[in-house]
Structure 1
Amino acid sequence: MSDELWRWSAERTARSIREKEVSAAEVVAASLARLEATNEVTNAFGEVADDALAAAKGADAATTRGDAVGPLHGVPTAFKLNTPVAGRPTPDGVAAYLDNIAAETAPALTRLLDAGAIPVGRTNCPPFSTRWTTESEHFGITRNPWDPAVTPGGSSGGAAVAVATGVVALAHGNDIAGSIRYPSASCGVVGIRPTVGRVPLWHSPPGWGVPLAVQQFGVEGPLARTVADLRLGLSVMEGPDPRDPMAVPVRHLAPGPEDRPVCVAMVTDPGDHPLAGRGRRETDDAVRTAGAWLADAGYEVEEVELPALGEAATLWWRLVLTEFRVGGLVAEVHRVGDAGIRRFYDLMYAVVEEAVGEVSFADYVAAYQRRALVRRQVAEFMARYPILLLPASGEPPFPLGGDLESVERARELMTHQWPNTAVPVLGIPGLGLGVTPTEGAPLGVQLVGRAFEEEWLFQAGEVIQQRSALTVPIDPRRP
C-alpha cells in the first residue's frame, strides 16, 4: 500500500511533526488535496477552511522554535457543521441558519484546537441533526463511500465519511441517538459516544440554556480510523470546562488482571416493546461474528436477552419527542426546515403517537422516574457483564431517502434503531465500529460499557478491529 500522508494515523502524524520528519504544512496540504479529490463524490464537507495552511505554517514555526506543543499538533481534523466555531455560521443543515454567526467556539472544539489540531473543514449533517442519514436540500446528499446508494449514517455522516476516505484521521461528532456510533459502523470506522459529563458540551443560542434532552442524552466525541486514534481524541476532548457545569474530572478506569476474563453480554433481542424489536439475520450475524472474535481473545461471551434495553429505547421516544414538541423544535422544523426533514418529523410523531399515545406532563415526569429505575436495572446487570455487545442497528445501512417512505417503514426503522436510542437514556458510553464487509456498506456493532469505563470498550474494540477484514481509508465509489 502506498504511504501518502493522508493515510497516516493521527498518532503517527503528530509524532512525525514533533520529530520534524514531516511538516504540518505538508500534512495539511495533503489533507486538503484529498478533500478536493473526494468531496465531489461524497459531499462530506459543507465548508472548507481557508486558513488551514496558514495555521499549519504557524504550527511549523512553533516546532522550529522548540515551543511546547499539544498531542495533536499539526494534525488535520474536521469539525461538524452543527457545532459553534467563533466567527462562523452554525447552520445545522438548515439554509435559514446560514446567518447564525457563532460568538464563541464550543468547549469540545476548543480543546481540540488547544491540543494543536488544525481543522481543514466542517462536515455535513442533516437538518436539525435529527435523521439517520445525512441529506438536506441546501447542503445536498452525503454519500457512503462503500455504497453511494445507502446512508452513511447520521447525523455525523459527513464526519464518518471524511475519516473513511482519508481526508482526516480524526473528526469531531456528537450523539444524542446514535449520531456518532451509527455513522461510524456504517462507514467502517470507529466512533465513541462518551459517558455523559466526560466531554464538555454547550449547545445553545446566546442567553439560553441547554435543552434538557441535550443535557441528559447528548454528548460530544471523536471518530477515527483506529481505536488508538479514538483513545487519543477522547483524551484531548475530555475534562471539566466552566461553560458546562455537568462536565467532570475523569478517572481513567481500565480492566486489570483481577477483572479477567471480562464478561460480555451479547444482545440481539431487546424484548417486546413498542419501539424496539429484533433485527434482521445479517445484523445479528455481525454481532455473533464479533462475539466469536472476543471469545477467541479470552473474553467470556454469553448471548442473553436484556428487556431493559428495549424499555430504554422506548423511553427515549417518549421523553425526547415530547420535549421537541413542547420546546418549540417541531414548530421550528415546519417553519424553516426543508421538505425532507418536515416529512421525517411527521412520520416520527405518527409512529410514536400510535405506539405510546399522547404524552401528558404527568406521563413525561413518570417516564423520567421510570428512566432512573431502568438505569439501575442495567447498572446492576453490568456489574457482572461490564461490556454489552449490540448491533449497530437492526438492519443494514438503508437506501438513501428510505426513512421518508411511509409510516410503516418509519416504524420499522425506528424499531431497528433501538441500540442507538437505548444507550443515551442510560447515560453510558458506546463504541460504534464496522465489523464485516459486504458487497455494499459494512455491517457493524456497538460495544457498550459502564460509566467512565471507555477504556474497556477501546480494548475490546481493538480485538475486533484486528480481526476484521475492513480496511480504511478507501477511495469512494461513484454513484
Structure 2
Amino acid sequence: MTTELIHRDASGLAELIRDRKVSSVEVVRAHLDRIEAADPKVNAIVTLADGALEAAKAADAALAAGVAVGPLHGVPFTAKDSFDTAGVLTQRGSPIFAGRVPDRDATSVARLKRAGAILLAKTNLPEFSYSTESDNLLTGRTNNPWNLGRTPGGSSGGESAAIAAGMSPLGLGSDLAISVRGPAAHTGIAALKPTHGRIPMTGVWPRAPRRDWHVGPMARTVRDLALAYALLSGPDGADGLASVPREFDAGLGTSPDRPVRVGWLVDSGLGPIDPEVAATVRDAAEALRSAGAEVDAVDIPALERDNPLDLFYRQHVMEVRPAFREATAGHEDRMGRVSKHMLAGPDTPLHDYVLAEQGVERLRDAFAAYFQRYDILLLPVLPVPAHGHGAARLTVDGRTVNAAHIQTATVPFNLTGLPALSLRFGTSGEGLPIGVQLAAGWHCESTVLHTASLLESLSPVRDQHPAM
C-alpha cells in the first residue's frame, strides 16, 4: 500500500482520502517513510515541516465529523525553500539566511493550505534560486533519482527530485528562465509556468525584477497541474503584477468544433538539440496528429534574429544586482560562486540594455502573430537529457556549447510571459526521461493544459518511476 500511495498523484490521493479508503495519516506517513528511505541518496529535502502528522490527524477527524473539505484535503505537498513558510525554516539556499524562520506563509503556500493540503517539507535549490543545478553551500547538492550522478536541474531541482522519487505528490516551484520546466524534464515529472502574473510572487524571494519571475506547480500528472493552477491563480492584493482575475480562461483550442492547431519545431534559433530529444518532439507531434490535431512543422524567425538567452542576460542580470547587493552586504564571505560571479561582472551599458528591451518586444510581437495561427507551440524543454553534475560545457549533437545553453528553449517564455508546460514523453538510450514543452497564448492556460492532458494520455512512458 505504501508503494501505491507514494506513486499516486495528488488528485488521486485526495479522492482516496475523501472516500475514506485511506487516511490522511497513512498518506503523510507513507511520504515521510519514503523521505527517510530515499532522501539520504537524493538530498532533495532540506527541512521537514513540524506538525504534518498532527495536521493529518486533524484532517481525518474533520472528515469523520462531516466537515466540508477542500479539493486537496489531507494531501501532503512540498515547497521550494525560496517560499516563505510560517514557523518553518526558509533559508533560500544560503548561509546568509541560515536559521531564518518566517512568520507568514507565501501566498501560494497559504492557498494550498486553504484547499486542505498539508505542508510536508521544504526542498533544495541553488543559492538564491540562481543556477541550473540545485547545489549550495548550506544544504549541498541534490541528485537526480534516475541517476545519482546526473543533475535534477535548477533552480527547482529539489522539488522535481522529491516528486520523481515519491517523496511528495505535489510541489511549488519558481521559474526565472527554466526553473520549473527544466527540472521537470530532467526528472520525468510535469510542471507549469503560467502566464506572468497569474500566481502572485508574494512571499517568494528573490522577486526582483518580477517581470521575469513566475510561480508554478510541479506534479506527477497534468490533472494535478490544472487543479493546483486553479487554486493558486488570481491577485492577492499585495503583488501588483498579479492583477488578472481568478477566472479560468477556456482559451483557444478546447472548442469541440475544431481540432487543436499545433506547430512544432526543433531548430529555428534553438541551437543544437540532441537527436533523441528532437526525435521525442517529433514523436509527440505525430501522436497529436494521430489524435486529430492539425499539426505543422514551423519556424519562428524572431528566435533566430534575437537570441533570447542573450537578451535575458543583458536585461535581467543588471536589474537583479541591487537586490543581491542588499542581501549580501557584509556577508560576502558566505556567498556562493554564482552570486559572486553575478555581482563581479560589469553592468550592461544603457545602449545595450535598450536594445535588449527592443529585442524582447520583437519576440512578443512574433509570438502574438504565431498564436493568431496556432493554439500550441510544441518544442523541446532542454537540448539534452539530464547531464552530469557541475558541467560548465555540454556536447550537444557533436557541438560543444556553454552550459547556459540548457535554457535556450525555455527562456523565451519568461521574457514574453507566455504560459508553458513541461511533460515527459520519451526516454534516452541511457534510461533518462526526455520531456517536451508546450506553450500557448497569453492567459490560455487551459489550452496548454488541455493539449498536455491529451498528449499525456498518448505517452509511451506513463507511470514510470525511478528504480530506487
What is the RMSD computed on CA atoms of the aligned residues? 2.7
Q: How far apart are the structure 2 equivalents of 1:366 and 1:256?
A: 37
The DSSP-based 3-state class of the residue aligned with 1:433 is strand
Check the 8 A contact 1:344/1:403 in 2, yes or no. no
- Unpaired segments ≥5 residues, structure 1: none
1:346–1:303 distance in 2 versus 1, CA, 3 Å: farther
Q: Distance in 2 between matches of 1:266 and 1:327?
A: 38
Which consecutive aligned stretches of 4+ in structure 1 deviate over 6 angstroms post-superposition? none
> What's the counterpart of residue 436 of structure 1?
426
Match of residue 266 from structure 2:
268
Which deviations, in whole Å up to 9, do the C-alpha atoms of 1:38-82 show, x marking residues without a partner? 111111100112210001111112112222211100001111111
1:400 corresponding residue in structure 2: 389
Aligned twin of 2:27: 27
Higher mean displacement: 394-403 or 422-431:
394-403
Identify the structure with the greater helix proportion: 1
CA-CA distance at 1:259 after TM superposition? 6.0
CA contact (8 A) 2:328 2:335 kept: no
The change in CA–CA distance for 1:282 and 1:337 in structure 2 (over 3 A counts) is: farther
Deviates more, 1:170-179 or 1:389-398: 389-398
CA contact (8 A) 1:131 1:344 kept: no
Deviations 1:294-346 (A, max 9, x none): 11111122222213235233321211112133554599499255554357659
Residues 1:162 and 2:158 are matched in the alignment: no
Letter in 2 for 1:320: H
Deviates more, 1:364-373 or 1:52-61: 364-373
Give the equivalent residue in structure 1 for 2:114: 114
What does 1:278-289 align with in structure 2 at a 5 Å threshold? 278-289=272-283
Of 205, 223, 226 in structure 1, the residue corresponding to residue 221 of structure 2 is 226
Q: Compute the TM-score of the two structures, normalised by the length of structure 2.
A: 0.90
Pairing 1:144–2:144 present: yes
Equivalence for 2:372 = 383
**Structure 2 gap ranges (5+):** none
What CA deviation, in whole Å up to 9, does each residue of 1:69-109 have, x standing for no partner? 11100001111111111233321111221133323211111
1:225-264 deviation digits (Å, cap 9, x = unpaired): 1111111111111112112222221342243446622221
- The equivalent residue for 2:436 is 445
Structure 1 residues 32-51: aligned runs within 5 Å: 32-51=32-51
**AA matched with 1:400:** H
Identify the residue that residue 63 of structure 1 maps to in structure 2: 63
For the 8 Å contact 1:293–1:463, the answer to whether it is kept is: no
Identify which range, 73-82 or 3-12, moves more after superposition. Answer: 3-12
Shift, 1:177, TM fit: 0.8
TM-score (norm 1): 0.88
Q: Bigger CA drift: 363-372 or 335-344? A: 335-344
Percent identity between the aligned chains? 35
What amino acid sits opposite 2:219 in the alignment?
Answer: A
Structure 1 distance, partners of 2:456, 2:449, is 10
Give the structure 1 partner of residue 321 of structure 2. Answer: 325
**2:302 pairs with one of 297, 308, 320:** 308
In structure 2, distance between residues paired with 1:424 and 1:259: 32
Partner Cα distance (1:192, 1:118) in 2: 21
Does the 8 A contact of 2:142 with 2:152 survive in 1? yes
- 1:464 corresponds to which letter in structure 2? L
Aligned residue-pair number? 458
Answer yes or no: is 1:363 the counterpart of 2:352.
yes
Distance 1:43 1:398, change over 3 A: same
Please state how far the C-alpha of 1:217 moved relative to its aligned partner: 1.4
The whole-number CA distance in structure 2 between the counterparts of 1:82 and 1:184 is 18
